[in-house]
Amino acid sequence: MLIGEYEHSLDSKGRMILPAKIREDLGDKFIITKGLDGCLFGFSENEWKNFEEKLKQLPLTNKNARDFVRFFLSGAVVAETDKQGRFLIPSNLREYATLDKDTVVTGVGTRIEIWEKNKWKKYNSTENISAEQLADNMASLGVLGI
């Protein structure tokens, strides 16, 4: 399971080090793509296959479904770590997520998210999100029995 929060920096070529604990679960070869909320998503090859299968089941005749599939697949790339654990984030994905130098990698179960550090701080701030509000929202969806 991909968990944790790690701060890293991009080098001048757009490479960053994948945290060793994340690399253990994600693998040395993985897929990165545009994510939701302004971050990037990273999937192991196996999780990507699962995600692709779900996308394939969406109806081609539904415009929202086509847009959703297009959003994730059009920017997807295979990333590979080098001997130092670095991988390249292509410029189009760096631009989408406004990645410049300081980043945060978060493990969120079946994928990682790569955030621009200040954007992550703002998203993760108590003004934006509270544990109590999250719990209430999830309880109303039947996820938590708290």
Residue pLDDT, tens place only, 25-75? 999 999 999 999 999 999 999 999 999 999 999 999 999 999 999 999 998
Residue pLDDT, tens place only, 82-110? 999 999 999 999 999 999 999 999 999 99
Q: How many Å apart are CA 39 and CA 35, to the nearest integer?
A: 5
Confidence band for 125, pLDDT divided at 50, 70 and 90: confident
Q: With 60 as the cut, is the pLDDT of residue 6 above it? A: yes
- Domains observed in the chain: 2-117 (3.40.1550.20)
The pLDDT value recorded for residue 128 is 67
Confidence band for 144, pLDDT divided at 50, 70 and 90: low
Q: With 60 as the cut, is the pLDDT of residue 10 above it? A: yes
Q: With 60 as the cut, is the pLDDT of residue 146 above it? A: no
Q: How many Å apart are CA 91 and CA 99, to the nearest integer?
A: 9
8 A C-beta contact, residue 102 and residue 9: yes
The pLDDT value recorded for residue 74 is 93
